[in-house]
Chains A and B, each alone.
Chain A
């Protein structure tokens, strides 16, 4: 009884099975022919290089994404080392994929924001009520008294794909644990406050100000701006003062007693440390020694 009904079911289902099988076979054959005719030859090296890249498509290398960078680097090995998120490890890995000897490469570059003025440190003439972006705020001459400092509307935060930049109390602040050094923030800042610096050490000393106003003027609108007094330049050759603004020479960067003294003696405390384990910024007027004591 059961057998008979089962047989009947199979008998009824047979045409459907034949139809489905026939169609499937037809398409299998068509697609097989198409796949042979339309085969795309891919260089196995490109795939190998692509696999060692970080796959974040940040564009720091100057190409549209990791896939196009992989293609370019196979064609032209001189382009090795453009991948800043991957750093030296990735360069070595690409070299291995292409059978080239690559040594580690330079120090990873990381952004430094050349401003340290939080909202309470600087002077505002009026409230800005326009579009909340640095680019449009920068078009207003008097959005804040300082024409050089951080605007704090977060164009850099939005440019960052790694959640490594945040506006903390009106100042762009880098989270060096998350930063990969792609440089997107440096391109996004309309005031060019962000400089990509080779981090030869965990923490780098820097002059966190960009104001080229005279010391007297800077003092009127910012408690923590560089006044170009030159005390740091007297302590260490690494500092140079031009246009009322001290600058750190990163090419021969070597911190010493002298640079530490310069940092401690800076009257506005604008020489600060930036990096993963950097100490908190000194408050203006407060001596470093006194702060630790």
Chain B
């Protein structure tokens, strides 16, 4: 029961309170780049969720088996990036095989998940927050992906509706998107301190 309680709190914490996109400002590039349409945003969210779950779990294992407590800790970034790049390659092949239309609509953004700072950020946070247990690491990784999906889907929904809005000329396009992102962040600040 206690375990479940901890895991649930960790999950809610990473999805809304410490949302990587809206409170840590990580992974902003796909957040603004692929949030034009909800279906694409959701697809991107799913891909990132898969990669971050896989990468977070694997890096936690590698971190705790080989790195922590040894001089090899300096290798952390290198190993983590290697894991992330491998996972992204796997996702790319999988999508190309089973979801070709999604694969085509992602274009360059799919390989760019490799450099998505939210993923490396989460892997490093797992170390920084001194997560001691594997199940907690898995839940936090998956929660980070779901939090990213939540943020990008909300953003895509707002942007789809904004297409119909009468935005003043100089604000059209990127400026109003950035202002929207800022307001959304302010809204999520309301969750701060909840846990």
Interface stretch of the complex, out of A22-30, A90-98, A205-213: A22-30
Interface residues of A in 24-48 (CB under 8 A from B): 24, 27, 30-31, 34-35, 38-40
Q: Is residue A10 within 8 Å, beta carbon to beta carbon, of the partner chain?
A: no
Partner of B86, one of A19, A20, A27, A40: A27
A93 to B51, CA, bound (A): 42
Known: A24-B82, A38-B97. A19 touches B89 (CB 8 A): no
Bin the interface of chain B by size. Answer: 20 to 34
Q: Is residue B191 within 8 Å, beta carbon to beta carbon, of the partner chain?
A: no
Q: Is residue B195 within 8 Å, beta carbon to beta carbon, of the partner chain?
A: no
Partner of A23, one of B62, B74, B90: B62
Q: Which residues of B contact A38 (CB under 8 A)?
A: 93-94, 96-97
B71 touches A20 (CB 8 A): no
> Which chain A residue has the least Cβ–Cβ distance from B90?
A34
Q: Is residue B75 within 8 Å, beta carbon to beta carbon, of the partner chain?
A: yes
Q: Is residue B104 within 8 Å, beta carbon to beta carbon, of the partner chain?
A: yes
Q: Which residues of B contact A67 (CB under 8 A)?
A: 104
Q: Is residue B78 within 8 Å, beta carbon to beta carbon, of the partner chain?
A: yes
Q: Is residue B174 within 8 Å, beta carbon to beta carbon, of the partner chain?
A: no
CB of A20, distance to nearest CB on chain B (Å)? 6
A228 to B83, CA, bound (A): 75
Q: Is residue B70 within 8 Å, beta carbon to beta carbon, of the partner chain?
A: yes
Partner of B75, one of A12, A16, A34: A16
Q: Which residues of A contact B25 (CB under 8 A)?
A: none
Q: Is residue A279 within 8 Å, beta carbon to beta carbon, of the partner chain?
A: no
Q: Is residue A15 within 8 Å, beta carbon to beta carbon, of the partner chain?
A: yes
CB of B98, distance to nearest CB on chain A (Å)? 8
A34 to B88, CA, bound (A): 12
A-B contact count (CB 8 A): 44
Q: Is residue B72 within 8 Å, beta carbon to beta carbon, of the partner chain?
A: yes
A34 to B91, CA, bound (A): 10
A30 touches B90 (CB 8 A): yes
Partner of B79, one of A12, A15, A19: A19
Partner of A31, one of B79, B90, B97, B100: B90
CB of B151, distance to nearest CB on chain A (Å)? 29
What does the 1/0 interface line of B58-100 toward A look like (CB < 8 Å)?
0000100010001110110011001101100110011011001
> Which chain B residue has the least Cβ–Cβ distance from A65?
B104
Partner of B66, one of A19, A30, A40: A19
Known: A16-B75, A20-B75, A23-B79. A40 touches B97 (CB 8 A): yes
> Which chain A residue has the least Cβ–Cβ distance from B62?
A23
A27 touches B66 (CB 8 A): no
CB of A32, distance to nearest CB on chain B (Å)? 11
A238 to B93, CA, bound (A): 60
> Which chain B residue has the least Cβ–Cβ distance from A16?
B75
Q: Which residues of A contact B93 (CB under 8 A)?
A: 31, 34-35, 38
Partner of A30, one of B79, B86, B94: B86
Q: Which residues of A contact B104 (CB under 8 A)?
A: 67
Q: Which residues of A contact B74 (CB under 8 A)?
A: 16
B78 touches A20 (CB 8 A): yes
B86 touches A15 (CB 8 A): no
B96 touches A40 (CB 8 A): yes
> Which chain B residue has the least Cβ–Cβ distance from A28?
B86
A197 to B48, CA, bound (A): 49
Interface residues of A in 226-246 (CB under 8 A from B): none
Q: Which residues of B contact A31 (CB under 8 A)?
A: 86, 89-90, 93
A159 to B140, CA, bound (A): 47
> Which chain A residue has the least Cβ–Cβ distance from B75?
A16
Q: Which residues of B contact A23 (CB under 8 A)?
A: 62, 79, 82-83
In the assembled complex, 11 residue pairs joining A and B whose CB atoms fall closer than 8 Å, in A order, are A15-B71, A23-B79, A23-B82, A24-B82, A27-B83, A30-B90, A31-B86, A34-B89, A38-B93, A38-B97, A40-B96
> B residues touching A (Cβ–Cβ < 8 Å)?
62, 66, 70-72, 74-75, 78-79, 82-83, 85-86, 89-90, 93-94, 96-97, 100, 104
Known: A30-B90, A40-B100. 17 other contacts (CB 8 A): A19-B75, A20-B75, A20-B82, A23-B79, A23-B82, A24-B82, A27-B82, A27-B83, A27-B86, A30-B86, A31-B86, A31-B93, A34-B93, A38-B94, A38-B96, A38-B97, A40-B97
**The 4 residue pairs across chains A and B that have the minimum distance between CB atoms:** A27-B86, A38-B93, A38-B97, A16-B75
